[in-house]
Structure 1
């Protein structure tokens, strides 16, 4: 202790030499001191960091073992990534009561990173960290309950753990909780509270781009607040400036929508969509199609719609089917139209079964089949909201049932 105090008074290289001497002699506090210095060194000194953290861990410093395990698992601070060794150190630290080590170890088990996947065991370690009040662990446990990973799916429990994480100051948890509240998962829908939580996370330091996007969505569609396109654009723009692809896509969509849009608006939207479409973002591809339809370039609109449909965009699947069926934008292709209508219907599109019924009835692109027509109408009625399309499905189904009763095929 006297030598340590002397080193503190000496400072500089003299202090380092004293600490080094003490550390080499096995003095645990000196080893820990050198480990911290190596970890914070500029530029990084990976060899010294690993050496002194290893020595500190061997001397019984659990925090050093946790730090070294974390660095090795992620390959940070210049250390070569070694997930297997990192997880060994993290498990030891977790067993010694370090919550962040338990969280990383449990998450690795859930994801099968550096270790055989075991979601139930992983969830138990995350739970252990959460029980110590560790905010990121509470948030992670909430996510596991939301998606049913390693635990039974329970959105209500997800809300509970996310609320605890938010109360402990975890802003990403505020975003996750806001999503549950906005969608009514795990309890009643509360869009006003979702708005408050999204704003809290969006205005945090650093801001959460996902929260910015969520805030933009609520303002755009008037959920939990009156419609405010200015605020919606502001928050989508904030998300886009933070690099969030969804922010760029949504802001582009808002620029394309208005009837009074200008050529400059469309040019700005096209610029925003370049990165998303290069990454194959399905909504970005669909928005690019919409942009070309607005410009009255129908063939280019079809081309982008087809890309969006192939990327999994449901409305684009229906649009492509319609254009192939109508044969006005591109040459008619009933077989291809039927394939896209079928795919859209299978994935839940409300209107696709209604249009597919017409193809089955007239034998266009598929063999005429009145039983299939009836099934299509029945599916449409399950999905369509009250209105003209639903009335058409109801009327069509009655007609088909009469035909079938007469033995018509």
Structure 2
């Protein structure tokens, strides 16, 4: 269960880390890049590929991927990485995971980039390539990659990825990654301390790590901590006003848990004036976003809100949710 949940979360990290953003290029810059790229400058080829893919047009995305290919075939580690990333995501080319992984391997063999090694490890885990994945994760961690440490931590915590279960080592690795400022590690560490997944509960440490991740921009951490502070679940001291503020912060990034936590606050009147209609709406919206079925108590809160609403109000709210669900289920930032 740990492994499955974590792999879903790390898939987002693969997408973010494997496709670094490129700066938009104006016409003059594009012309200059094109001349350099045509002359065989691999850095220009990669930069031109990014510029074309940033334009958003399908033809430009395909052209961008071809520039990555030219750079990769010329021996550029960055070109090979970007080609692998584009192929993994199906950007400008048909999605092909084995081919993508091959290009990623070629890239890290050239430049030994530790964060790329960690992303390669996650990609391999998602395809069942456990032994090789753990080798890359160990190499990444040895070179100081927080993502590599996180992969190894989850392997040790679950005992399901080809390494013996070692909870103490998992905690040590996650702490090391979190102390490097990795918000995914901070989020996981906070959740595990609060829920006692390391074999003991440390609510104070868990709240600190969740707050640290939220302060660093993790919308999921903000939503997670908001829910705990609003409900007092897992013996977290209730601080509903702080929880509501964090829920709104998470919602600004369209985070499911932000909608859910604020909905719970409205239904229960915790830290905000009770509003069953708005609570029902926010929780229902969160349910539409809940592809992993994490919101186990949603039905109970919806029932509590529904008891205070008329059939006409519920019909209006359902129509509102239907209208807004498309935006709510868009990719989250």
TM-score (norm 2): 0.71
Q: Following the alignment from structure 2 to structure 1, what is the Cα–Cα distance between the partners of residues 25 and 293?
A: 49
What is the SS of the residue equivalent to 1:219? Answer: helix
The answer to whether structure 1 residue 232 and structure 2 residue 133 are counterparts is yes
Q: Following the alignment from structure 1 to structure 2, what is the Cα–Cα distance between the partners of residues 219 and 232?
A: 5
Q: Following the alignment from structure 1 to structure 2, what is the Cα–Cα distance between the partners of residues 325 and 331?
A: 9
Which gives a bigger RCO, structure 1 or 2 (Cα 8 Å, sep 6+)? 2
Pairs within 5 Å for 1:76-225: 119-148=26-55, 154-204=60-110, 206-222=111-127
Q: Which has the larger radius of gyration?
A: 1
What is the SS of the residue equivalent to 1:294? Answer: coil
Contact 2:283-2:302 at 8 Å conserved across structures: no
Q: 1:405 to 1:324 in 2, by over 3 A?
A: closer
Pairs within 5 Å for 1:261-340: 261-266=165-170, 268-270=172-174, 273-274=175-176, 276-290=177-191, 292=193, 293-295=196-198, 296-299=200-203, 300-327=205-232, 328-340=234-246
Q: CA deviation at 1:374?
A: 4.4
Q: Following the alignment from structure 1 to structure 2, what is the Cα–Cα distance between the partners of residues 311 and 386?
A: 25
Q: Following the alignment from structure 2 to structure 1, what is the Cα–Cα distance between the partners of residues 59 and 212?
A: 34
Contact 1:249-1:287 at 8 Å conserved across structures: no
What is the SS of the residue equivalent to 1:203? Answer: helix
Q: Following the alignment from structure 2 to structure 1, what is the Cα–Cα distance between the partners of residues 79 and 132?
A: 23
Aligned length: 285
Note the alpha carbon deviations across 1:212-257, whole angstroms, 9 max, x for none.
Answer: 22220112222xxxx2333222111222333434323433343334
Note the alpha carbon deviations across 1:16-68, whole angstroms, 9 max, x for none.
Answer: xxxxxxxxxxxxxxxxxxxxxxxxxxxxxxxxxxxxxxxxxxxxxxxxxxxxx
Residue 267 (structure 2) aligns with: 361
Q: CA deviation at 1:189?
A: 2.4
Contact 2:153-2:171 at 8 Å conserved across structures: no
Q: Following the alignment from structure 1 to structure 2, what is the Cα–Cα distance between the partners of residues 373 and 153?
A: 44
Q: CA deviation at 1:164?
A: 1.8
Q: Following the alignment from structure 1 to structure 2, what is the Cα–Cα distance between the partners of residues 267 and 364?
A: 33
Q: 1:333 to 1:251 in 2, by over 3 A?
A: same
Q: 1:286 to 1:163 in 2, by over 3 A?
A: same
Note the alpha carbon deviations across 1:320-366, whole angstroms, 9 max, x for none.
Answer: 12221232433211222222222223323234423422221232211
Contact 2:46-2:67 at 8 Å conserved across structures: yes
Pairs within 5 Å for 1:231-250: 231-250=132-151
Residue 256 (structure 1) aligns with: 157
TM-score (norm 1): 0.59
Q: Following the alignment from structure 1 to structure 2, what is the Cα–Cα distance between the partners of residues 187 and 297?
A: 47
Question: Gapped runs of 5+ residues in structure 2?
Answer: 1-21, 317-333
Residue 404 (structure 1) aligns with: 313
Q: Following the alignment from structure 2 to structure 1, what is the Cα–Cα distance between the partners of residues 33 and 315?
A: 64
Contact 2:49-2:68 at 8 Å conserved across structures: yes
Question: Gapped runs of 5+ residues in structure 1?
Answer: 1-109, 112-116
| Greater CA drift, 181-190 or 171-180 | 181-190
Contact 1:281-1:311 at 8 Å conserved across structures: no
Note the alpha carbon deviations across 1:292-329, whole angstroms, 9 max, x for none.
Answer: 44332322122212211221223322221222123243
Contact 1:252-1:287 at 8 Å conserved across structures: no
Note the alpha carbon deviations across 1:260-280, whole angstroms, 9 max, x for none.
Answer: 63255236515xx43x43442
What is the SS of the residue equivalent to 1:247? Answer: helix
Q: Following the alignment from structure 1 to structure 2, what is the Cα–Cα distance between the partners of residues 157 and 329?
A: 54
